Structure 1
Amino acid sequence: MRIGELARLTGVSPRSLRYYEEQGLLASTRTPGGHREYGPLAPERVDRIQCLFAAGLSSGTIHNLLPCLYARERGDPAPDLIDNLCEERERIAVSIDRLQRSLTALDTVIDGARRDGAPERSAAGPGTPRGAGRPVSLTARATRQAKSRTTSATRRRP
């Protein structure tokens, strides 16, 4: 099948399919006219790639994992699969922890601004599209305090 048909079957843009090919995640052959031709298992592979991207894995990690996943399905040994997946899970957990700390710090600044008399504004909550909530207005005093905290934290770094 050609790239347009694969794109329609999977809902993935032709540009993304070309990217997957550049990264070694997807293979094709070329017609005499230079058009890409994909095999019958390509839609399943694209779906798997999309699932791994959605899980937060990078193209390099997916490139390393795909052979393990397919070896396991064929019944061949894939000893690195679980280790690789556990490493990726830990990387994602660390990212989530970092984001949670950032969210907590932001909540602290917002709460401080509200205590200092800034008018209440609706802030975007979890799952709210970016820009959906009105920004919280900081008073001049709260802004100076936030800058002061940032500046002193920056000075402490080696």
Structure 2
Amino acid sequence: MRIGELSRRTGVNAHQLRYYEANGLLAADRGANGYREYDEHAVLRVQQIRHLLGAGLSSEDIAYLLPCAVGEAPELPGCPELLAAMRSRLRRLDDQLARLARSRSALADYIDAAERTGSETYPPFYDLEPISA
């Protein structure tokens, strides 16, 4: 099947499919016309990739885990190497969450302090644009 059909069957746009291929997560043969040709297994592979991305794994993590993946969910064997890789990723996520919690707390403290001082002691900031997300 060509990339458009794989995109339709998986709900993943062609740009992302090419990204997966470029990162070694998805393989395609090239037809005589130069078009990518995917086999039926590619649908399952894309579903596995999407699930693993949803778990917060990076493309690099997924490239390491994917050869062992079984089924759409996917299931991963409990071998020591895979468990070590997933635990490492979990630690990185925990570290990110802790940094975000500290940032959130500091920002909340700044907001509380600013609200306590009130706007009467400072001139209006007409020329400032609000902070965007």
- Short-chain TM bin: 0.7 to 0.9
Q: Go from structure 1 to structure 2 and tell me whether the alpha carbon gap of 1:31 and 1:74 turns closer, same or farther (over 3 Å shift).
A: farther
Cα gap change, 1:102 to 1:92, in 2 (>3 Å)? same
| Whole-angstrom CA distance in 2 between matches of 1:79 and 1:31 | 39
Structure 2: tracts of 5 or more residues without a match: 124-133
Aligned residues: 119
State the Cα distance separating 1:4 from its structure 2 match: 0.3
Go from structure 1 to structure 2 and tell me whether the alpha carbon gap of 1:117 and 1:9 turns closer, same or farther (over 3 Å shift): same
Q: Does 1:99 align with 2:100?
A: yes
Please give the alpha-carbon distance, in whole angstroms, between the structure 1 residues aligned to 2:75 and 2:10: 21
Q: Does residue 1:42 correspond to 2:47, yes or no?
A: no
Runs of 4+ residues over 4 Å off in structure 1: 72-75
Cα gap change, 1:59/1:110 in structure 2, threshold over 3 Å: closer, same or farther? same
- Contact 2:57–2:89 (CA<8 Å) still a contact in 1? yes
* Rounded Cα–Cα distance in structure 1 between residues aligned with 2:63 and 2:6: 20
Residue of structure 2 equivalent to 1:150: none
Greater relative contact order: 1 or 2 (C-alpha under 8 angstroms, separation 6 or more)? Answer: 2
TM-score, reference length from structure 1? 0.68
For the residue of structure 2 that corresponds to 1:26, the secondary structure is coil
Gaps of 5+ in 1: 120-138, 141-158
Compared with structure 1, are the counterparts of its residues 6 and 113 closer, same or farther at alpha carbon in structure 2 (3 Å cutoff)?
same
2:110 maps to 1:109: yes
Contact 2:48 2:69 (C-alpha < 8 Å) held by counterparts:
no
Cα deviations across residues 112-146 of structure 1 (Å, max 9, x unaligned)? 00001149xxxxxxxxxxxxxxxxxxx56xxxxxx
**Seq. identity, %:** 45
Residue identity in the other structure for 2:57: L
- Equivalent positions of 1:1-158 (< 5 A) are 1-70=1-70, 78-118=79-119, 139=122
